[in-house]
Amino acid sequence: MDNNEIAVQTELRPLTAVQVKAQVNLVQEVMKAVMQEGQHYGKVPGCRDQPTLLKPGAEKLMMTFRLAAEPQVYEIPTVDGIAYRVICRITNQQSGLYLGSGVGECSTKEGKYNWRKAVCNEEYDATPEDKRRIKWETNYHTKQVCTNPADLANTVLKMAKKRALVDAILTVTAASDIFTQDIEDMSTEVLGTKSNAGKPPVVQPQAKAETEQLKSIVAAIDHITMKSGGTKEKPWTRYTITLAGGFIGSTFDKKIADAAETAREMEMEVTIQHKPTEKYGNEIVSLLPQLPTEQGTRQPGDE
């Protein structure tokens, strides 16, 4: 039997032990030969060594086993937010045989989408008390205000779809012993650990003298775009990074863009340091993933 046909069964009959072993071996071979850490899978700080499967990795497994995804979207009624549940059905591309499904949800009430850094003290002071908060970290705090749910509707829909797809692929290919999924969706507060092992690529900030005039913002990454130009001798590519709260910044540094893409796939918040420029607006000079801390996140009044 062709390895690519292992998961394609036109008849509902049990797989043999040899076929099960071959399927596991195929997943491992694809992981080693095709997938790249940080792009197709990643490791979450402070968690076990088992990698978490990312959307590009799930798509590679779909292609390997010739699977088709059929997402079914359901909007969940909420009082002051937007939430979606997506059920992703997986079928065989050739026969149309139903093989399994996965489920994923996402809501604008999740911390990474519900809050953004206030653009200034005046905005924070003018925001109603029930729509603002002070988020405490180990050595500093951030004034935050609630986001507009409508601005994040497409973001949470795509995130729910992605979560459902990864869940479905892990189930259908029986790859849960190789990859995990739900750990990447946990906030750093839930993880509650300070280990830095396996963190996404980190772009270190510039020297202290240069950073004194920089501004910082903490949020999840919504999307990244790129524009290229220049000459054959001096080509350039500029990356524009948009955060979930609406902040837009850009950089020519590919390392920063790669770190941002990894953080976006792993649904991790990042700390971006930037400075205003006349030509490019907010110039991003460093990007650091928001790693878990020993104390976690505290709210004012917590013991």
Pair (171, 68) in one structural domain: yes
Range of the domain at 164: 3-108+150-185
Is 181 within a domain?
yes
d(CA 83, CA 104) in angstroms, rounded, equals 11
Pair (18, 78) in one structural domain: yes
Q: Which of 163, 185, 207 is the last residue of a domain?
A: 185
Domains of the chain: total: 2
Residue 37, class by beta-carbon neighbours within 10 Å (0-12 exposed, 13-18 middle, 19+ buried)? middle
The pLDDT tens digits of the residues spanning 95-113 come to 889 999 999 999 999 988 9
Pair (207, 268) in one structural domain: yes
Task: Name the least confident of 16-30, 244-258, 272-286.
Answer: 16-30
Q: What is the CATH number of the domain that holds 260?
A: 2.40.50.110
Split at pLDDT 50, 70, 90, the class of 72 is very high
Is 118 within a domain?
no
Pair (93, 162) in one structural domain: yes
Is 144 within a domain?
no
Is 121 within a domain?
no
pLDDT at 184 over 70: no
Is 135 within a domain?
no
Pair (163, 75) in one structural domain: yes
- Tell me the helix, strand and coil percentages in the chain, rounded to 5: 30, 35, 35
The pLDDT tens digits of the residues spanning 52-68 come to 888 888 899 999 989 99
Is 131 within a domain?
no
pLDDT of residue 48: 58
Pair (156, 53) in one structural domain: yes
d(CA 46, CA 53) in angstroms, rounded, equals 17
Residue type, 130: D
Is 260 within a domain?
yes
Q: Which residue has the higher pLDDT, 18 or 138?
A: 18
Contact by Cβ (8 Å): 284, 274? yes
